[in-house]
Structure 1
Amino acid sequence: MNIAIIPARGGSKRIPRKNVRDFCGQPLIAYSIKAAKACSLFDHVIVSTDDEQIREIANACGAETPFVRPAELANDHATTVPVIKQAVEWVQEHIGKVDNVCCIYATAPFIQADALQNAYDLLIRKAVSGYVFSATTFPFPIQRAFKVKPTGFVEMFEPKNYMTRSQDLEEAYQDAGQFYWGSAEAYLSEKIFFSTDSMAYVLPRHMVQDIDTPEDWTRAELMYEALKKNGDIQ
């Protein structure tokens, strides 16, 4: 069977209660649950959480919360793959054999069911042993990036590229922070996402927005309303 796991702990620091905060009329996590259920790929859509309010909202949105996430996987230092691994182990022990897993972040209001479907098709068609994850392009060549030193002065990371035209530099990609398809075995063996065994499902930049700060939140709401008005999201 295929399952979706949506990790959503209660202890968000930069934006308190982020996962269940109202985003354009719905709790933020509702968008991820809605997309997972709309694509009809999953036998179970499970939210992994340690928080009772998140549990109640997830259930109201149609997701399952059959276990409480262990405390050691709900602190500020917990990373994604061990959280998904624990969920897969629980499902295999209590429900049945898991074939493929999609980790879907709870903070992805632009996520679309067709992207989940297309990425899954890529995972199966290419027999990917790692992951197929959402990605997008950097808006500016990373080879010409610079840092600001403690003195306030700047320094290029790669000074050799100062005179290179932007169009002559290799395009770079970044994690879009929406979803990560993989086999149960990939998660159980704790493979890293960004390896040579993985493939990127590339999304247009206007369909991607991290939500880590209040400024990100405001920008995401404005983008969401524009995308909805334009018919780019359902």
Structure 2
Amino acid sequence: MTNIAVIPARGGSKRIPRKNIKMFHGKPLISYSIEAAIKSNCFDRVIVSTDDEEIAEVALSFGAEVPFLRNKELSNDFAGTTPVIQDAIFQLDDNDIEYICCIYATAPMISEQDICAGLNTIELKENCNYAFSITTYDFPIQRSLSLNQENIVAMHSPDLFNTRSQDLEECWHDAGQFYWGTREAWQQGLPIFSSNSIGIKLPRHRVQDIDTLEDWDMAEMLYQIRSKS
């Protein structure tokens, strides 16, 4: 049985044009995910799923495989992760695949150790469909506010206004780095956020979603701090 990494990387990013291959601290952003996957030694194949020939060339230059170009219908703004992984499984047509790890191309602080932790978890935990990266919110979400068109605020949980922060339940969110899943879970489209999934905890200083230019700047600062330490 084999394990594969699939790195989705479409070419049509709108908010940060050419985001997946934009230079980040001297290297294309996608290279960090490819290198971490290879260094982890968890995979028989590291594959980039893309519709873009330039991205494919960059991926190949950093040691990934690009055995097919993704259909344009799976490369628009509405294409979800699960259909992209399902497409990769179909394209590869390999009955020996046991686990597939979806690794996002926009995770420059991903580490091979965390990838390995995910594999160890999904292998050892009975009835585990997925193991994926999570981290804590940096502020109690119970104190979150809504804002109307007049900038008037309202608490989502007003009954917790007088509750001390240390007494509120700690909450976690998807860290957006990697998602180990069994072949069957991906093919059946089973939900990732479920009781059959295990979270791999990451510290907040190694997590940064990159959707906007502000996110990009923050990620570069965090990466620089991490590199110095």
Same fold (TM over 0.5): yes
Find the residue that maps to 1:32 and give its secondary structure.
helix
Aligned partner letter, 1:32 = S
**Deviation readout 1:145-190 (Å, 9 max, x if unpaired):** 1111112110000110001111111110011000000101110001
Tell me how far 1:194 sits from its aligned partner: 0.7
Report the Cα distance in structure 2 between the residues aligned to 1:165 and 1:20, rounded to whole angstroms.
44
Who is 1:31 aligned against?
32
**Deviation readout 1:87-116 (Å, 9 max, x if unpaired):** 01222x2x4421001000000000000000
Who is 2:124 aligned against?
125
TM-score by length of 2: 0.98
Find the residue that maps to 1:196 and give its secondary structure.
coil
Q: Which runs of 5+ in 1 are unaligned?
A: none
Find the residue that maps to 1:99 and give its secondary structure.
strand
Aligned partner letter, 1:195 = S
Q: CA RMSD in A?
A: 0.9
Determine if the alignment matches structure 1 residue 190 to structure 2 residue 196: no
- Contact map agreement 1:105 1:178 (CA 8 A) in 2: yes
The alpha-carbon distance between structure 1 residues 128 and 27, as it changes in their structure 2 partners (threshold 3 A), is farther
1:112-151 alignment, distance < 5 Å: 112-151=111-150
Task: Count residues with an aligned counterpart.
Answer: 228
Determine if the alignment matches structure 1 residue 111 to structure 2 residue 106: no
Report the Cα distance in structure 1 between the residues aligned to 2:202 and 2:120, rounded to whole angstroms.
15
Who is 1:15 aligned against?
16
Who is 1:167 aligned against?
166
1:1-12 alignment, distance < 5 Å: 1-12=2-13
Aligned partner letter, 2:88 = A
Find the residue that maps to 2:177 and give its secondary structure.
strand
Tell me how far 1:192 sits from its aligned partner: 1.6
Q: Which runs of 5+ in 2 are unaligned?
A: none
- Contact map agreement 1:129 1:186 (CA 8 A) in 2: no
- Contact map agreement 2:98 2:182 (CA 8 A) in 1: yes
Report the Cα distance in structure 1 between the residues aligned to 2:83 and 2:125, rounded to whole angstroms.
25
Identity of aligned residues (%): 51
Structure 1 residue ranges (4+ consecutive) displaced by more than 6 angstroms after TM superposition:
none
TM-score by length of 1: 0.96
Who is 2:224 aligned against?
225
